[in-house]
């Protein structure tokens, strides 16, 4: 094993040149802001290399053995991005500025036709589209999340993807699409205009489609990819309309122009809320599609058909945050304290309500899911909805000029984005580790008995086949425990800090300023309790109790490629929450302060002993519901001792024994109820959409197909048949006899002669 591990580590040697590129660039005097281009270019240039070399040397021994089918190349390009991004972040923090705008590169420069009522005229050089780097607290936070998680999940993917026979000789496609996606995410975060944001947004959408459909020969995967693509497309159309409306108002889509003073539009006109608010709502619909919020949420659970690293990266940690990022970018528009446009309170309320509804709905569906990845998918949806809820409250409070509360909840929401991305990325990797090992255990087990490989249907993702893995997968169980604790919001760990901030400030807004926020606020507290239940349920079903299938009894952790990123992220999840909270990261993220300032006591006091009585009640209700009531009910239902003779390490063993200590609760009656049934069916949203489509789009498509086959093809075929029969008729004049040709030539010449004579007279 040790020798083997040594060999695996040797594979990382090609990474070394990538590690020194950025320091060398920096020593040569490259402006740290220009390193942003390196962040984007490294994966972008590696993408065709991996794809083409992989295609040419498919199955080659060095390519498969040493380069892991391109995985090492992809990892090195992401290492360049990570180092360059870290360098930029450190540089940005040392500047103590709220935002930095790098030099732009002009991309396109074109004239614009304009109409002044009577005639058209050309404004030469009116519009130029340029690309530059825009850094502020939001983008550096997301930049770190994206580069760090892309790197770690690529590392994980090398272990996960290259050990499965089903992927053999296809992985170059995976890694190429993976780094193209990374390029899209980095670009979107760094872009300095809404147009570039949209372009990179679409690149991510494309990669999401390609990667969900990675197992394209599986019908369910192909359908899921199509569903994800089409659903997000609905949102993207609105997004594009919103961008055109913004362009109409401001005459530019550059952040520098738009955010300079959002209350004055093109040519110094005053921007009215009645024209800006519809544009922002259009953008928000795009965000709803991308971040899988109600009512465009149906694609995310199906997207779990993709390989697990894809779920971890795209559908939990990065791409689904794009919608949140865009909503966070709307803050300057409504922030009346800093030149915002007054009168847009409704926008914030709509965002908050969508968030509240999605959070509650997704959490309730997560109650009954048995597929480990589906639970995590609904949990992602629910947590993203929390962030939307926080952003919505922030938008409302800022629009109503309560800027202190507004900035606080904005910071909390963005901090939750960070915590959630880290925890959920890790949870998906841990679930991938479980699935991988259960699948392999099952495979080995049946390979010995039945070498043909034909065995009964077995779903390695179904938690009803797991159980008792705590002793067999120590690293994974601890990682998953920490991730779940962060998502649940167990005090002092990860997501606790940010979730408390969102809930407390939403309640503050509801109680003191706007009763309409009360709905989302109540939903948020209820969802916190439900989160405690379904996350604990997932952990207990997977790791506690007796093995529920023989395969689960033969699981063991193996490859270090999977364990290393898990350990790293466990550490990050466990510590960064408290660390960043004590540095008052919220005030930095919301743009209120240019840097960090340290204060543990402040942070603790603000969270545990708020000044307002009502917030104290809300805060402790949330803690009790999420950390005590929810987990205990889950333990009662799904907990249990490990099998005899099995022993997990320290805290995990304690947790498993704790779960066994509660009196078991029988929930068969509840599990068979109609509510559980409709939750199983995802509250019938998919059925409703399918029915609507089958009644509207399908007949229309059928008619179009008929029209195409009969009318359009009919016209084309008529032309074709006429020309064929015409040609057949003309062919009879080629007799093959020379004399006929000469006669024709003579007659022709005489005709031309006669014509000329006739015309000239």
Partner 1 sequence: MIDPSWIAGLAAILFGIGLIGTFSRKNGIVVLMCIELMLNAANLNFVAGALNTGGVEGWVYTAVAIAIAAAEVAIGLAILLSLYSTQETISLDEATLLKN
The 3-state DSSP class for residue 291 equals coil
The Cα–Cα gap between 313 and 383 comes to: 16
* Least distance from partner 1 to the Cβ atom of residue 732, Å: 7
Closest distance between partner 1 and the C-beta of residue 749, in Å? 10
Report the distance separating Cα 711 and Cα 332, nearest Å.
53
> What is the nearest approach in angstroms of partner 1 to the Cβ of residue 695?
57
- E runs forming strands in 220-343: none
Q: Choose between 454 and 731: whose C-beta lies nearer to partner 1.
A: 731
Over 262-274, what HEC string results?
CCECHHHCECCHH
Nearer to partner 1, 674 or 731 (CB): 731
Per-residue string for binding with partner 1, 705-734, x by CB under 8 A?
Answer: --------------------------xx-x
Residue 743 Cβ vs partner 1, minimum distance, rounded to whole Å:
6
Contact pattern for partner 1 over residues 122 through 161, marking x by CB under 8 A? ----------------------------------------
Choice between 613 and 737, CB closer to partner 1: 737
Q: How far apart are CA 741 and CA 727, in angstroms?
A: 18
Give residues with Cβ within 8 angstroms of 120, minimum separation 6. 113, 114
Taking contact as CB under 8 A, which single stretch among the options 237-245, 498-506, 616-624, 736-744 is the one that binds partner 1? Answer: 736-744
CB 753 → partner 1: shortest distance, Å?
13
Rounded least distance, CB 738 to partner 1, Å: 4
For partner 1, which residue of 746, 752, 755, 756 counts as binding (CB under 8 A)? Answer: 746
Kindly report the backbone phi and psi dihedral angles of residue 560, in degrees, each rounded to the nearest multiple of 5, phi listed first. -70, -20
Closer CB to partner 1, residue 52 or residue 750?
Answer: 750
DSSP letters, 441-491, are: HHHHHHHHH-TT-------TTBGGG---GGGT-HHHHHHHHHHHHHHHT-T
Smallest distance, partner 1 to C-beta of residue 745, A: 10
Counting contacts by CB under 8 A, is residue 744 touching partner 1?
no
User: How is residue 191 annotated by DSSP?
Assistant: B
* Cβ pair 174, 161 in contact under 8 A: yes
Query: Cβ 737 to partner 1, closest distance in Å?
Result: 6
Taking contact as CB under 8 A, which single stretch among the options 183-191, 452-460, 622-630, 741-749 is the one that binds partner 1? 741-749
Compute the least distance from the CB of residue 751 to partner 1, in Å: 15
Backbone angles phi, psi at 134, to 5 degrees: -120, 120
Q: Helix or strand or coil: residue 199? A: helix
Query: Which region, judged by CB under 8 A, interacts with partner 1, from 374-382, 677-685, 709-717, 735-743?
Result: 735-743
- Write phi, then psi, for 564 (nearest 5 degrees): -55, -50
685-702 exposure pattern, b = at least 16 Cβ within 10 A, e = fewer: eeeeeeeeeeeeeeeeee
The residue (of 613 and 734) whose beta carbon lies closer to partner 1 is: 734
Query: Binding residue for partner 1 (CB under 8 A) from 118, 672, 727, 738?
Result: 738
Among 742, 752, 754, 755, binds partner 1 (CB under 8 A): 742
Stretch that binds partner 1, among 13-21, 49-57, 199-207, 739-747 (CB under 8 A): 739-747
Binding string, residues 672-711; x marks residues near partner 1 by CB under 8 A: ----------------------------------------
Six-digit token pair at 613? Answer: 């009585």
Closest contact distance (angstroms) between CB of 731 and partner 1 is: 5
3-state secondary structure of 418: helix
CB of 734 to partner 1, least distance (A): 6
**Which range binds partner 1 by CB under 8 A, 330-338, 412-420, 442-450, 740-748?**
740-748
Token pair listed for 695: 């009644």
**Residue 743 binding partner 1, by CB under 8 A:** yes
Nearer to partner 1 (CB atom), residue 6 or residue 738: 738
Sign of CA dihedral 416, 418, 421, 424: negative
Of these, 737, 757, 758, 759, which contacts partner 1 (CB under 8 A)? 737
Size of interface with partner 1, in residues (CB under 8 A):
11
Nearer to partner 1, 118 or 734 (CB): 734
Residues 162-181 that bind partner 1 (CB under 8 A): none
Which of these, 428, 393, 422, lies nearest to 579 by C-alpha position? 422
Nearer to partner 1, 738 or 761 (CB): 738
Measured from the CB atom, the residue of 719 and 742 that comes closer to partner 1 is: 742
User: Least distance to partner 1 from the beta carbon of 739, Å?
Assistant: 6
- Distance (Å) of CA 257 to CA 194, 249, 265, 605: 11, 11, 9, 40
CA proximity to 320, closest of 358, 349, 277: 358
As a dihedral over the C-alpha atoms of residue 700, residue 701, residue 702, residue 703, rounded to 10 degrees, the angle is 50
562 Cβ partners below 8 Å, 6+ apart?
A: 156, 159, 160, 429, 432, 433, 436
Q: How far is Cα 418 from Cα 585, in angstroms, rounded to an integer?
A: 11
Shortest distance, position 747 Cβ to partner 1, whole Å: 11
Contact 438, 460 (CB under 8 A): yes
Q: Which is closer to partner 1, CB of 119 or CB of 734?
A: 734
Q: Which is nearer to partner 1, 52 or 746 (CB)?
A: 746
CA proximity to 287, closest of 259, 310, 321, 258: 321
- Between CA 357 and CA 146, with CA 492 as vertex, the angle to 5 degrees is 65
CB of 210 to partner 1, least distance (A): 53
| Number of C-beta neighbours around residue 230 at 10 A | 12
Q: How far is CA 439 from CA 213, 374, 435, 503, 549, in A?
A: 20, 17, 6, 40, 12
Which residues, 6+ apart, have CB-to-CB distance to 222 below 8 Å? 213, 216
From 3, 739, 758, 759, residue interacting with partner 1 (rule: CB under 8 A): 739
Stretch that binds partner 1, among 120-128, 654-662, 708-716, 737-745 (CB under 8 A): 737-745
C-beta closer to partner 1: residue 738 or 760: 738
Nearer of residues 106 and 751 to partner 1, judged by Cβ: 751
Nearer to partner 1, 709 or 752 (CB): 752
Output the smallest distance, CB 741 to partner 1, in A.
9
Query: Do the Cβ atoms of 262 and 340 come closer than 8 Å?
Result: yes
- C-beta closer to partner 1: residue 663 or 739: 739
- Least gap, CB of 744 to partner 1 (angstroms): 11
Ranges of H-type helices in 11-125: 15-27, 35-56, 61-65, 71-95
Q: Name which of 119 and 738 has its Cβ closer to partner 1.
A: 738
736 binding partner 1? (CB under 8 A):
yes
Nearer to partner 1, 6 or 727 (CB): 727
> Residue 354: exposed, middle, or buried by beta-carbon count in 10 A (0-12, 13-18, 19+)?
buried
Q: Which helix (H) or strand (E) holds 175?
A: helix 171-190
How near is the Cβ of 735 to partner 1 at its closest, in Å? 6
Kindly state the smallest distance separating residue 746's Cβ from partner 1, in Å: 6
Nearer CB in complex with partner 1: 694/735? 735
Among 735, 748, 752, 755, the residue binding partner 1 under the rule CB under 8 A is 735
| Interface residues toward partner 1, by CB under 8 A | 731-732, 734-739, 742-743, 746
């Amino acid at each position: 094993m040790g020798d083997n591990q040594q060999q695996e580590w040797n594979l990382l040697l090609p990474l070394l040149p990538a590690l020194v590129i950025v320091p060398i660039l920096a020593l040569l005097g490259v402006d740290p802001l220009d390193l942003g281009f390196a962040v984007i270019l490294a994966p972008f240039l590696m993408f065709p290399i991996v794809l083409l070399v992989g295609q040419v040397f498919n199955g080659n021994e060095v390519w498969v053995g040493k380069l892991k089918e391109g995985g090492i190349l992809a990892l090195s390009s992401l290492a360049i991005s990570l180092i360059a991004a870290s360098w930029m972040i450190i540089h940005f923090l040392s500047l103590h500025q709220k935002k930095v705008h790098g030099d732009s590169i002009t991309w396109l420069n074109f004239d614009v036709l304009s109409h002044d009522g009577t005639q058209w005229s050309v404004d030469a050089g009116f519009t130029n589209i340029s690309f530059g780097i825009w850094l502020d607290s939001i983008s550096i936070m997301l930049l770190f999340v994206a580069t760090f998680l892309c790197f770690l999940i690529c590392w994980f993917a090398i272990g996960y993807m290259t050990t499965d026979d089903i992927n053999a000789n296809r992985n170059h496609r995976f890694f190429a699409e993976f780094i193209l996606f990374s390029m899209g995410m980095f670009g979107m975060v760094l872009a300095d205009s809404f147009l570039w944001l949209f372009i990179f947004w679409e690149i991510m959408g494309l990669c999401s489609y390609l990667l969900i459909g990675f197992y394209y020969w599986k019908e369910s995967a192909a359908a899921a990819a199509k569903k994800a693509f089409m659903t997000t497309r609905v949102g993207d159309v609105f997004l594009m309309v919103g961008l055109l409306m913004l362009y109409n108002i401001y005459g530019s889509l550059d952040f520098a122009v738009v955010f300079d003073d959002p209350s004055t539009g093109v040519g110094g006109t005053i921007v009215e809320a009645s024209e800006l608010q519809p544009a922002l709502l259009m953008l928000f619909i795009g965000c709803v599609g991308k971040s899988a919020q109600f009512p465009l949420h149906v694609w995310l659970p199906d997207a779990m058909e993709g390989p697990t690293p894809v779920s971890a990266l795209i559908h939990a940690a990065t791409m689904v945050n794009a919608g949140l990022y865009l909503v966070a970018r709307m803050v300057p528009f409504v922030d009346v304290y800093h030149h915002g446009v007054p009168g847009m309170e409704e926008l914030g309320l709509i965002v908050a309500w969508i968030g509240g509804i999605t959070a509650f709905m997704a959490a309730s569906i997560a109650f009954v899911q048995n597929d480990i990845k589906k639970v995590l998918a609904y949990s992602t949806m629910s947590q993203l909805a929390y962030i939307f809820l926080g952003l919505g409250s922030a938008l409302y409070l800022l629009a109503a000029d309560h800027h202190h509360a507004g900035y606080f909840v904005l910071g909390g929401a963005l901090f939750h984005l960070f915590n959630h991305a880290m925890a959920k990325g890790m949870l998906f990797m841990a679930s991938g580790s479980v699935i991988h090992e259960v699948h392999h255990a099952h495979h080995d087990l049946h390979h010995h008995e039945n070498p043909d490989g034909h065995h009964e249907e077995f779903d390695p993702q179904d938690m009803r086949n797991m159980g008792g893995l705590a002793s067999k997968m120590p690293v994974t169980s601890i990682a998953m425990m920490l991730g779940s604790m962060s998502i649940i919001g167990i005090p002092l760990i990860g997501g606790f800090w940010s979730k408390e901030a969102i809930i407390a400030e939403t309640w503050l807004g509801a109680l003191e300023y706007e009763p309409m926020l009360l709905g989302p606020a109540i939903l948020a507290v209820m969802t916190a309790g439900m989160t405690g239940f379904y996350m604990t349920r997932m952990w207990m079903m997977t790791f506690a109790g007796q093995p529920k299938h023989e395969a689960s009894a033969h699981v063991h952790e193996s490859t270090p490629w999977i364990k290393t990123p898990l350990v790293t992220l466990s550490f990050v999840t466990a510590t960064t929450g408290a660390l960043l909270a004590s540095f008052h990261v919220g005030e930095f993220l919301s743009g209120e302060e240019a840097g960090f300032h340290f204060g543990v006591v402040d942070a603790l006091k603000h969270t545990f002993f708020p000044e307002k009585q009502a917030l104290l009640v809300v805060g402790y209700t949330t803690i009790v519901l999420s950390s005590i009531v929810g987990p205990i009910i889950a333990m009662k239902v799904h907990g249990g001792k490990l099998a005899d003779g099995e022993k997990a390490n320290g805290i995990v063993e304690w947790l498993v024994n704790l779960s066994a200590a509660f009196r078991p609760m029988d929930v068969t009656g509840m599990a068979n109820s109609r509510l559980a049934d409709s939750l199983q069916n995802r509250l019938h949203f998919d059925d409703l959409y399918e029915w609507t489509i089958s009644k509207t789009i399908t007949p229309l498509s059928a008619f179009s197909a008929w029209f195409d086959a009969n009318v359009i093809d009919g016209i084309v075929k008529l032309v074709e048949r006429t020309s064929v029969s015409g040609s057949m008729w003309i062919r009879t004049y080629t007799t093959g006899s020379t004399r006929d040709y000469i006669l024709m030539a003579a007659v022709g010449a005489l005709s031309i002669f006669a014509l000329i004579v006739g015309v000239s007279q």
